[in-house]
Amino acid sequence: MKLVLASTSPRRRELLARIGVTPARIASPDIDETPLPRELPRDYVARLARGKALAVERGADEAVLAGDTTVAVGRRILEKPVDEADLRRMLALLSGRRHHVWSGVCVVGVDNKPRLRVADTIVAFKVLSAAEIDWYVECGEGMGKAGGYAIQGRAESFVRFLSGSHSNVVGLPLFETRTLLTSAGIPLG
């Protein structure tokens, strides 16, 4: 059986390699990622992961793995920043607060059955000074990242507390992913 990764994220490929998994091919699912009105972050990532997995065409001998990660402050979903001003707003919102990082992971096996898990990690940032926000915005690392930061980079120096899966915050919760791949009969390396 071959695995199709429904993501072009290099971080997800690197995380899969940690558990000995190399996708046979990469696909880029095209779905609308706009949150629905009053949609909770947990439901949002579950819907997107499932939608991405089902949007990818696959052969009879292929299984699909898809994931989606978001950062949430309360019920507020922080998507990817659209510009530097949006990134500054996000960092100011995260400053000195706990937030949740939610990831949905879905595997559709050769049996066509979608298997879904959701991971939640609590992260708390230190209080960020204006200079620290400037420093992080100027490095460019937060652009294109849910919540405006990459824990595997410079933003890790802002984290004063983490409860849950570190790999979830990077973009793919490995415990849940391994469980889903095993249940779908996908061999691990």
pLDDT in tens, 125-171: 999 999 999 999 999 999 999 999 999 999 999 999 999 999 999 99
Whether 86 is catalytic is no
In order of their start, the domains of the chain are: 2-183 (3.90.950.10)
**3-state secondary structure labels for all residues of the chain:** CEEEECCCCHHHHHHHHHCCCCCCEECCCCCCCCCCCCCCHHHHHHHHHHHHHHHCCCCCCEEEEEEEEEEEECCEEECCCCCHHHHHHHHHHHCCCEEEEEEEEEEECCCCCEEEEEEEEEEEECCCCHHHHHHHHHHCCCCCCHHHCCCCCHHHHHEEEEECCHHHHHCCCHHHHHHHHHHCCCCCC
Q: Which of 32, 43, 61, 68 is catalytic?
A: 68
pLDDT in tens, 35-63: 999 999 999 999 999 999 999 999 999 99
pLDDT in tens, 57-110: 999 999 999 999 999 999 999 999 999 999 999 999 999 999 999 999 999 999
